[in-house]
Amino acid sequence: MDNDTHRDPVEGLGEFLRSRRGRLSPAAAGLPTAGRRRVPGLRRDEVAMLAGVSLSYYCRLEQGREVSPSPRVLEAMARVLQLGDEDKRELFRLAQPAARRTKAPVRVERVRPHLRQLIESWTRTPAFIIGHAQDLLATNALADALYRDFARHDNVLRMLFLDPAAKTFYRSPERARHRAVADLQQTAASTPEDPRILELVGELSVRSGEFRTLWARRHTRVPPYEIKRVHHSVVGDLELRREAFTIRSVPGQQLVILQAEPGSPSVDGLALLGSVSAPEMPHQQNPAHGT
């Protein structure tokens, strides 16, 4: 009797993943190839990072201890392993019991009205609220003016890796990218099948070789405080303190503020930025002249 015909689907899935990652070279996956490697193909940690899941979760998949990978995770694996149509169908067949599950709902993130009102009341400090995948959920007028050189103000990582404006806006774009990736890795480790994170990692991995390389590395947690040095096309150089506060009433959301040191040139720069971006007041006719 042919044992392969009756093999357990979960064990078959692990064997399949091991064989396909063994066939894919680091260079083909967009990873650095310097130094000696013990395995000819991709390592487990590299596949996990590129797919946007934790290493422990991926190991459970290969070991047959994770019996419910979602369709979104399988799509991510197919993308990372660069599977053709036939191999992709085989991947889903081996995970058939899981593929029939109901898709995990996408988390809908909303900003509480009082928080939106709070940041909008700050006219001298750029402030915004980001979600668990670093989507910009709410911004005040000064933050909009600060990031006016970017085509879209939708997601921190998309702005950093996909918008050319990042290269001239950030004085240290590499540090900003490392920080953003480290933050996303921490979130992905705690929510291995989050649809929004899988979607974002998939898009950035396809469109940015630099993101693929950084995502495949392990990053330490970056402290919430730092000095942010940027160059604005209208007001020039700014040096701002960045602080991020966890919003306890809405898990996953953070309030980010950018402050200038009192008495510094950056205070004047923010004031100028606020004045040039303020909407023009409607012209009011002198009552003495009537209508």
Question: Residue 31's domain is classified under what CATH number?
Answer: 1.10.260.40
Tell me which of 101 and 226 has the higher pLDDT: 226
Reported confidence tier of residue 222, pLDDT bands at 50, 70, 90? low
Residue 19 sits in the same domain as residue 123:
no
Question: How many whole angstroms separate alpha carbon 14 and alpha carbon 157?
Answer: 32
Average pLDDT over residues 225-241: 91
Reported confidence tier of residue 240, pLDDT bands at 50, 70, 90? very high
Tell me if 162 is assigned to some domain. Answer: yes
Tell me if 282 is assigned to some domain. Answer: no
pTM: 0.67
Tell me if 1 is assigned to some domain. Answer: no
Residue 100, pLDDT > 70, answer no
Could you tell me which residues come within 8 angstroms of residue 11 by beta carbon, excluding any fewer than 6 positions away?
64
pLDDT of residue 46: 86
Tell me if 3 is assigned to some domain. Answer: no
Residue 212, pLDDT > 90, answer no
Mean pLDDT, the chain, rounded, equals 83
pLDDT digits (tens, 9 = 90+) for 147-199: 999 999 999 999 999 999 999 999 999 989 988 998 898 888 777 678 888 88
pLDDT of residue 35: 67
pLDDT of residue 101: 47
Residue 171 sits in the same domain as residue 268:
yes
Residue 24 sits in the same domain as residue 134:
no
Domain range for 152 is 113-277
| Structural domain ending residue among the three candidates 99, 133, 168 | 99
| Structural domain ending residue among the three candidates 76, 99, 122 | 99
Number of structural domains found in the chain = 2
Q: Check residue 145 and give left, alpha or beta (phi > 0: left; psi -120 to 50: alpha).
A: alpha
CA-to-CA dists, residue 150 to 72, 113, 129, 188, angstroms: 30, 26, 17, 26
Residue 137 sits in the same domain as residue 67:
no
Percentage of the residues of the chain whose pLDDT score is greater than 90: 41
